[in-house]
């Protein structure tokens, strides 16, 4: 059994739809998985009609909910600490029966048994506790549990009671938006430095300046069915981070499900226009439409278009190509409703947009690029999207648990960047943009180009580490810049910008300067690394420095040699009719000699370099002839020099 210096304190996101459990140690917070590797537990239970006891939980209960509608309980979070009178608007949407107890609190009626929301929530918490104990290989008795910011005292006490019934001591109830901010380390560190550092590869330490230990944070939470915006004031004190909810706003019937519904309505309208308004949809066809609508929505987050195809029977097949632009037009009013809520919350908090320090994105629907762009435009800053929006609340709860357990969480990027940051280049080498021990905030820019002709997309692989090859560094993330106009190799100008802000969030942006196309990714580069692991990686880089530099040199030589050979062959083809045979044969001998070094598994780098230098020197006359012929052709086409 694993030995812990103190009893572990887990973090739990007790959600309406799904619940998660996480733990934080010196390597940072991580989600604890279930027996099948699942990262989330559906907040659904099935109770036995004859006894009222638990029969199934999680995915098992949810997947059979149609078979047991009266005994399957979901959305129990809405019932916590509420009376049946409070819930009268929600009861119409619940297939199971809800009654009142003698104290006017809501109870779920299963057969002749009345079960409290606390008891049902305790079943979910107990299952998550079992996951944690199996993952950590130690008993777990303490937890931090999150609740919505708008939960009142009765709802918070009901959550504590559920934890006690699950065998957990709930040490603290944390607001969900506060947990999301904690996951990013907001409110826990005093920033130093200036975000306008030198824009070169070798950055100098930025000028330091004092920054208040108080941050005002907006948490934009857009899930499948609901939207919430919370304005928080986070302040670092000797007792830890203290939060104050300045304002909340939202809509309990606004979420990603609305987009699915819009796409379904679009399909139905077009089917009616194409095959007749009397077309009827079977229940199975309706389910296919819902599934297809969700898949289409997800695909359009990455692609510019998504095909829709549905077999309607009777030799009728509906096909449509939905574009991202069409979807953006459809959901613009939906997004505006969330932004109106944001403005209302700011007004209630008595704040201007300029007074918001950071914006944090929570909920699966915030993955939609149009949503992210709209929020960035509304708040005048790029929101935090580095963490999985479905998991960030649980991770934040785990961070709070680590603070309470006394685990020293001096983030690896608290003052300086512990390991170099860069991108992969052709051949598997690493181009480092920000070097280790650079003071944060830090910024670096560098220009790259394409290797292949008519390349219309460039994949960016972000890496961390001190070694020279990709295989020896830590992968942080990948993204793709698409839509580049086809140009000859080397002509596109790809500007890659790395920015590590005061909270240790790495923003990587790639822009093709000629076309203006952009793509970006946000990363937390310190997650999952302990101080000991950083030291080990530094030691390995020193021990392997000579071999790494030789390997990197050979990669560069091979890339440059292949480009040079390609250019020489192209020039020979252009001016072959004016070249002497002896000179062509001399060039071919140089090309063959260099090609042997390219094909060799472990060539001598110095000899390779000398052979490449000799080939380039021999081709200088070829280049002069090629340029002269090009100029003559241009002059013949424009004899007046116009």
The two three-digit tokens of residue 316, written as one number: 């009728």
pLDDT at 426: 83
Whole-number Å distance between alpha carbons of 184 and 177: 11
Q: What local confidence, expressed as pLDDT, does residue 217 receive? A: 94
Catalytic residue among 127, 142, 161, 176: 176
CB atoms within 10 A of CB 121: 26
CATH of the domain at 500: 2.60.34.10
Active-site residue, selected from the candidate residues 77, 142, 297, 432 = 77
More confident residue, 563 or 146: 146
- Residues 298, 327: one domain? yes
Three-state SS letters, 462-513: EEECCCCEHHHCEEEEEEEEECCCCCCCCCCCEEEEEEECCCCCEEEEEEEC
Q: Is 585 part of a structural domain of the chain?
A: yes
Catalytic residue at 352?
A: no
| Phi, psi for 352 (deg, rounded to 5) | -100, 160
Residue 444 three-state SS: strand
Q: What DSSP designation does 224 have?
A: S
- Give the DSSP H/E element, type plus range, for residue 234: strand 227-237
Whether 493 sits among the annotated catalytic residues: the reply is: no
Q: Please check whether residues 597 and 509 belong to one and the same domain.
A: no
| Catalytic, out of 127, 161, 221, 424 | 221
Q: Has residue 559 got a pLDDT over 50?
A: yes
The residue behind tokens 């009013």 is: 333
pLDDT for the residue numbered 594: 92
Task: Return the number of other C-beta atoms located less than 10 Å from residue 586's C-beta.
Answer: 15
Average pLDDT over residues 72-94: 81
What token pair was written down for 269? 């309208």
Residues 380 and 480 in one domain: no
Task: Verify that 563 and 537 share a domain, yes or no.
Answer: no
Who has greater pLDDT, 542 or 336? 336
Q: Which of 485, 482, 462, 463 is nearest to 473 (CA)?
A: 463
Residues of the domain holding 247: 212-386
176 is catalytic: yes
Q: Which tokens sit at 232?
A: 């928080």
Same domain? 285 vs 339: yes
Q: Which residue did the predictor score with more confidence, 539 or 191? A: 539
pLDDT digits (tens, 9 = 90+) for 411-462: 443 467 888 999 998 888 899 999 988 888 899 999 988 878 888 889 999 9
Same domain, 527 and 561: no
Instruction: Quote the number of domains for the chain.
Output: 4
Structure tokens at 251: 């809509």
In the annotation, is 302 catalytic?
no
Q: Are residues 517 and 565 in the same domain?
A: no
224 and 254 in a single domain? The answer is: yes
What is the pLDDT confidence band of residue 224, given thresholds at 50, 70 and 90? confident
Residue 12 or residue 293, greater confidence: 12
Q: Which of 510, 542, 574 is the last residue of a domain?
A: 542
**What is d(CA 173, CA 41) in angstroms, rounded to the nearest whole number?**
20
Same domain, 157 and 33: yes
CB neighbours of residue 192 within 10 Å: 18
Q: How many residues does the chain have?
A: 642
449 and 509, same domain (yes or no): yes
Report if residue 580 sits inside a domain.
yes
């Amino acid at each position: 059994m694993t030995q812990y210096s103190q009893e572990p304190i887990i973090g739990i996101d007790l959600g309406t739809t799904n619940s998660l459990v996480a733990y934080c140690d010196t390597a940072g917070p991580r989600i604890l998985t279930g027996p099948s590797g699942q990262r989330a537990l559906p907040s659904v239970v099935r109770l036995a009609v004859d006894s009222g006891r638990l029969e199934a939980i999680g995915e098992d209960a949810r997947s059979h909910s149609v078979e047991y509608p009266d005994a399957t309980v979901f959305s129990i979070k809405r019932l916590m600490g509420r009376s049946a009178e409070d819930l009268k608007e929600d009861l119409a949407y619940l297939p199971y029966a809800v009654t009142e107890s003698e104290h006017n609190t809501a109870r779920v009626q299963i057969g002749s048994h009345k079960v409290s929301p606390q008891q049902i929530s305790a079943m979910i918490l107990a299952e998550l506790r079992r996951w944690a104990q199996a993952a950590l290989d130690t008993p777990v008795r303490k937890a931090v549990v999150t609740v919505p910011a708008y939960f009142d005292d009765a709802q918070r006490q009901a959550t504590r009671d559920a934890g006690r019934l699950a065998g957990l001591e709930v040490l603290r109830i944390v607001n969900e938006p506060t947990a999301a901010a904690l996951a990013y380390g907001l409110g826990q560190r005093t920033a130093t430095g200036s975000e306008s550092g030198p824009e070169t590869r070798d950055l100098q330490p930025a000028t330091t300046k004092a920054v208040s230990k108080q941050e005002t944070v907006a948490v934009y939470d857009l899930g499948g069915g609901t939207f919430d915006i919370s304005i928080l004031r986070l302040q670092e004190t000797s007792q830890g981070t203290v939060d104050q909810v300045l304002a909340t706003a939202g809509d309990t019937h606004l979420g990603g499900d609305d987009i699915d519904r819009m796409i379904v309505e679009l399909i139905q309208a077009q089917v009616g226009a194409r095959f007749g308004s009397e077309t009827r949809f079977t229940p199975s066809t309706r389910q296919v439409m819902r599934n297809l609508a969700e898949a289409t929505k997800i695909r359009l987050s990455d692609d510019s278009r998504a095909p829709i195809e549905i077999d309607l029977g009777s030799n009728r097949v509906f096909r449509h190509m939905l574009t991202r632009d069409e979807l953006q037009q459809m959901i613009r009013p939906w997004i505006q409703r969330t932004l109106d809520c944001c403005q209302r919350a700011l007004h209630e908090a008595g704040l201007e947009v300029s007074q918001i320090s950071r914006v944090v994105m929570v909920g699966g629907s915030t993955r939609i690029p149009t949503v992210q762009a709209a929020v960035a435009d509304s708040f005048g800053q790029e929101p935090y999207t580095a963490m999985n929006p479905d998991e960030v609340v649980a991770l934040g709860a785990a961070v709070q648990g680590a603070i309470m357990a006394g685990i020293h969480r001096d983030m690896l990027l608290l003052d300086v960047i512990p390991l170099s940051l860069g991108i992969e280049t052709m051949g598997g080498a690493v181009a480092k943009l920000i070097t280790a021990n650079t003071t944060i905030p830090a910024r670096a820019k560098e220009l790259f180009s394409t290797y292949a002709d008519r390349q219309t997309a460039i994949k960016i692989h972000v890496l961390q580490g001190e070694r020279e090859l990709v295989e020896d560094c830590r992968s942080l993330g990948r993204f793709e810049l698409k839509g580049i106009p086809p140009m000859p190799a080397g002509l596109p100008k790809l500007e890659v910008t790395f920015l590590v802000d005061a909270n240790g969030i790495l923003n990587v942006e790639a822009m093709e300067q000629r076309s203006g196309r952009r793509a970006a990714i946000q990363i937390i580069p310190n997650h999952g690394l302990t101080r000991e692991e950083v030291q080990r990686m530094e030691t390995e880089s020193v021990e392997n420095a000579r071999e790494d530099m030789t390997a990197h040199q050979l990669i560069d030589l091979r890339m440059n040699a292949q480009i040079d050979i390609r250019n020489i062959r192209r020039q020979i083809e252009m001016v072959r009719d004016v070249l002497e045979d002896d000179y062509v044969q001399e060039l071919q001998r140089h090309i063959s000699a260099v090609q042997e070094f390219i094909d060799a598994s472990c060539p001598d780098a110095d000899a390779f370099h000398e052979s490449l230098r000799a080939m380039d020197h021999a081709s200088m006359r070829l280049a002069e002839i090629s340029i002269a012929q090009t100029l003559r052709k241009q002059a013949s086409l424009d004899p007046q020099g116009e």
